[in-house]
Amino acid sequence: MWIHKPFFQYATAVLLVVIIIFFLGKIDYFLWPFQKTAATIFFPIVIAGLLYYLVRPIVRLLSKRMPKTASIFIVFAVFIAIISGVSYFYGNAIAEQVQDLSKVLPDKVKEISSESEKAIEDSKLGVVKTDNLSQKAQRYLNTLAEKLVGNLADVISVITSVATVLVIVPFILFYFLKDDHRLRPFLLKYLPDEHEGEGNVILLDIDKTLSTYIIGQFIIAIVDGILMYIGYLIIGIDYAIILALFAMVLTVVPFIGPMMGVIPAMFIALQQEPFMAVKVLIVLAVVQQLEGYLVTPHVMGKRLNIHPLTIILLLLVAGSIYGFLGILLAIPLYSVIKTLIKNFRLFYRLRRKREESSPVSLKKS
C-alpha cells in the first residue's frame, strides 16, 4: 500500500517533529527552566574547557613527578602569580591609557562630528540640516540615558553573573584537570563492544583537534600582541598597550581577527598624524608575515587545513546568530564536526571492505 512507502513514513516523522517543536515553542513556561539552566552552565563550562586545554600539557608534565592534585595547585599558583606580575608592572600604565583615552575619545568624536557638519553645510545639499542632526542626537542621548537608568538592575545582574562565572570557573577547571582520565571511558561504555575501538579513535582525534586549535590560537594571539606592541612603540603611536591588547584579543578570531584588531589603531593614528595610519598598516603587514611564515606553521601545522572562504562564511553565520561567542566557537566546532565526518567515512569504508572480503561474501560470489 502507498502509505507504507518509505517516503511517506519519513515525511510523517518529519511532520510530527515539526508539530512537536511548534507546540513546545508555545509553552515557554515549561522550557524556560531548561533554557535558563543551560545558559547558566554553558559559559562557565566553555571558559573552563578553553583553560583546560591550555594548562593540561603543563599539568601532565608535572604529574610525572608529583601527585596530580599538587601539580594542579602549582599551575593555579603560577597563573595567579603571572596575572599579579602583569598587573603590578603594567596595571598602572594600562589604567592611565584607558583613562586618557576615555577623556580624549569623546572630544575626538565631537571634533569629527563638527567637521562632518561643516562638510555637509559646505556641500550645499540642502537636504540634511545640521540643527536637525544635533536635535536628533540630543534626543537619542537623552533616551539612551533614561534606558541606562531604567535598566540599572539588568546591568547589576550582568556584573553579578560575570563575577559568579569567574568564581565558579576555577572549581570546574580543577575537576576537569583532576578527572579528565575518566571522561573517555565514561563515553565509550555507551557504545557496543564491537565499536569501542572506533569510538576511542574518534574521541582521541577530536581531543587532539581541539587541543591543537586552542593552544595554537592562544600562542598566536600572545605572539601577535607582543609583536604589535613592539611595532606600535617603534612607530610612536599613542596608547600602544591598549591597542596591542585589543589586537591580541581579536587575533583569536581566525583570518579576519587581525584586520579587525587594527581598526582602533587606525582611528587613533588618523587623529595623531595621517601618515601614522600607513605606519600602522605596515606594522600589521610585518606582523602577519612573521606569524604566517614563522609561528603558524610550527604551532598549527596543516592539521586543521580550513579554506579561508569557509572561515569567512562560518564567522558570518555564527556571528549573525550568536554574536561574538559564536565567532569564537565557530571554527573549533566546525573542526570537531569535520573530524567526526572524516572518521565516520573512514570507518564506513573499512567496514565495507571488511564485509566484502569476509568468507561469507566470498562464498556468495
Considering the domain boundaries, does residue 22 fall inside one? no
Instruction: From first to last of the 365 residues of the chain, give the pLDDT tens digit.
Output: 555 666 667 778 788 877 776 666 666 666 666 666 666 777 788 888 888 998 999 999 999 888 989 999 999 999 889 888 888 887 787 777 777 776 666 666 566 556 555 655 555 444 445 455 556 555 655 565 555 555 555 545 555 566 666 788 889 899 999 988 888 888 778 777 777 787 788 888 888 888 888 888 888 888 888 999 999 999 988 888 888 888 888 887 777 778 888 888 888 888 888 888 889 999 989 988 888 777 766 665 555 566 767 777 877 887 777 776 677 777 777 877 877 787 777 777 766 766 666 555 445 54
CA–CA distance, 50 with 61 (Å, rounded to integer): 18
CA 182 vs CA 175, 176, 186, 187, 281: distances in Å: 11, 10, 6, 9, 49
Q: Cell 559564536 identifies what position?
A: 326
CA–CA distance, 226 with 220 (Å, rounded to integer): 10
**Among 58, 50, 93, 63, which Cα is nearest to 75's?**
58
Do residues 283 and 228 lie in contact, with contact meaning Cβ atoms separated by under 8 Å?
Answer: yes
Q: What are phi and psi of 179, to 5 degrees?
A: -115, 25
Q: Cell 566484502 identifies what position?
A: 356
The DSSP 8-state label assigned to residue 226 in this structure reads H
Considering the domain boundaries, does residue 77 fall inside one? no
* Sequence letter at residue 77: A
Q: Tell whether pTM > 0.75.
A: no
CA–CA distance, 252 with 324 (Å, rounded to integer): 11
Which contacts of 224-230 are long-range, i.e. CB under 8 A and separated by 24 or more positions?
A: 224/248, 224/251, 224/258, 224/287, 224/291, 225/251, 227/286, 227/287, 227/290, 227/291, 228/261, 228/283, 228/284, 228/287
Query: Tell me, what's the pLDDT at 184?
Result: 83
Considering the domain boundaries, does residue 341 fall inside one? yes
Q: How many domains does the chain have?
A: 1
Considering the domain boundaries, does residue 162 fall inside one? no
CA dihedral sign, ordered 294, 297, 298, 299: positive
Q: Where are the alpha helices (DSSP H) in the chain?
A: 6-26, 28-63, 68-123, 130-150, 152-178, 183-188, 196-235, 240-250, 257-261, 263-272, 274-290, 296-299, 308-356, 359-364
Query: Tell me, what's the pLDDT at 74?
Result: 93
Considering the domain boundaries, does residue 297 fall inside one? yes
Considering the domain boundaries, does residue 193 fall inside one? no
Q: Which domain holds residue 245?
A: 198-351
Nine-digit cell at 237? 603611536
Query: Tell me, what's the pLDDT at 81?
Result: 92
| 94 exposure class (CB count in 10 Å sphere: 0-12, 13-18, 19+) | middle
Nine-digit cell at 339? 573530524
Q: Name, in order, each residue with C-beta under 8 angstroms of 280's C-beta and a sequence gap of 6 or more.
A: 232, 235, 237, 262, 265, 266, 269
Q: Name, in order, each residue with C-beta under 8 angstroms of 277's C-beta and a sequence gap of 6 or more.
A: 266, 269, 270
Considering the domain boundaries, does residue 188 fall inside one? no
CA dihedral sign, ordered 192, 193, 195, 196: positive
Considering the domain boundaries, does residue 282 fall inside one? yes
Query: Tell me, what's the pLDDT at 125?
Result: 47
Do residues 326 and 318 lie in contact, with contact meaning Cβ atoms separated by under 8 Å?
Answer: yes
Torsion of Cα atoms, 34 then 40 then 45 then 48, to 10°: -170
